Amino acid sequence: MTGADNPQVANARQLQHQVLSLLNRPKKSHAFVLTDTASALDKLTQAAVLCPELETLGSETASATVTALYELAPLLTEILEGSVSAEDVYFSLGNASGLITAGQDEFYRDRLNYTCMLAARIRLAFHERDLAERGFPLAKAIQTKRLMQAPRLPSDTLN
């Protein structure tokens, strides 16, 4: 089967286009940046698993994706401040770029792992912030219910 006939290569090519589309979407809010970036990194790792030589699928798309990752780094670092260090963001985005440019060398699996871990850390930061911004309503409701059900002495105050 040639690359054109191989369904894995076709799927990888489609995923690579989706990655670029996600990275180039307007950065309307920090939430969009985080969710789009995590999704893009997931799709990139999927594409790299299907076709470890991503650069061969389309040099224009590959080049544009690497550029988009490079340009995203300062904004992502700023948004993730306090959750993920700048060094980890740059290192992991560099590994994501390496999935496109380096192919399947001895560090290929490491690049996959670091890219996946950044996607997971981005999602974790997003969800932790969302819960904090909303004041952890579920946790507070559970805590309140437990406090209200706890036995009390008549002299205890309800705080």
Write the pLDDT tens digit of every residue in 51-82: 988 888 877 889 999 999 999 999 999 999 99
Q: Which amino acid is at 137?
A: P
Burial class, 86, CB count within 10 angstroms (exposed 0-12 / middle 13-18 / buried 19+) = middle
Q: How far apart are CA 81 and CA 118, in angstroms?
A: 14
DSSP string, 12-70: HHHHHHHHHHHHHS---SHHHHHHHHHHHHHHHHHHHHH-S-GGGG-HHHHHHHHHHHH
pLDDT band at 41 (very low <50, low <70, confident <90, very high): very high
Residue 90: phi and psi, rounded to 5, are: -65, -40
Q: In the Cβ-directed half-sphere of 14, how many Cα atoms lie within 13 Å?
A: 7
pLDDT surpasses 90 at 142? no
